[in-house]
Amino acid sequence: MKRPRMVLILVLLYFGQAAMFLSYFGLYVLNGVQGLDTMIVEILRGTRGLQGLISVTLLTSTWLVLGLASVVIGAGLRRGRSWAWTAAATLEGAILILSLEAYFNRRADGPFYLAMAVAIAVVLLLNQREAQVFYRANRATLEGQVGRREE
């Protein structure tokens, strides 16, 4: 089956999203390393609890996990794998939940709004009929090949 142009746009958006998340990870790591010595000294003196260090670590690792998952799913979308469509919809749902949680708790900033905008665009592209038909057709082709091998 010929790949629709919209699927190419979807794949490019997904890899762009992966680059965005990995860039956020890099920026948080660079900023965190600069303030890490001060944070450790404050923890040892008892003026600051471990909560700040834990929250920075969780936020940084979240950007890394989202970035790596986006790369893997983007590769699957590029290869036309049906599992990638399901994984992409699930990951985008998680990204939207995280973004909305940050928005309602008044912790959202530019990166969260950008992540939310890209996630909305990806979800809209994933739910287009052309994309659904393309990934369903690839699943049927793969299932047919597996069935022939077993015979």
The answer to whether the predicted template modeling score (pTM) of the entire model surpasses 0.75 is yes
Which of these ranges, 11-15, 17-21, 124-128, 140-144, has the smallest mean pLDDT?
Answer: 140-144
User: Rounded to the nearest 5 degrees, what angle is found at the Cα of 79, between the Cα atoms of 78 and 82?
Assistant: 100
* Mean pLDDT (whole number) for 44-72: 83
Q: What is the pLDDT of residue 151?
A: 47
The secondary structure element, H or E, covering residue 67 is helix 51-78
Q: Tell me the average pLDDT of the chain.
A: 83
Tokens 């190419």, located at residue? 8
* pLDDT exceeds 80 at position 3: no
- The pLDDT, as a whole number, for residue 138 is 65
The whole-angstrom separation of Cα 13 and Cα 74 is 9
Q: What is the pLDDT of residues 83-131, one digit of tens each?
A: 999 999 999 999 999 888 888 888 778 878 888 999 999 999 999 888 8
pLDDT tens digit sequence for 34-44: 777 777 777 77
Q: What is the pLDDT of residue 115?
A: 86
Instruction: Tell me which residue has tokens 């956020």.
Output: 24
Give me the pLDDT at residue 14, please.
Answer: 93
Distance CA 95, CA 17 (A): 11
pLDDT score, position 93: 93
Phi, psi dihedral angles at 109 (to 5 degrees): -135, -165
- Give residue 140's pLDDT band: very low, low, confident or very high (50, 70, 90): low
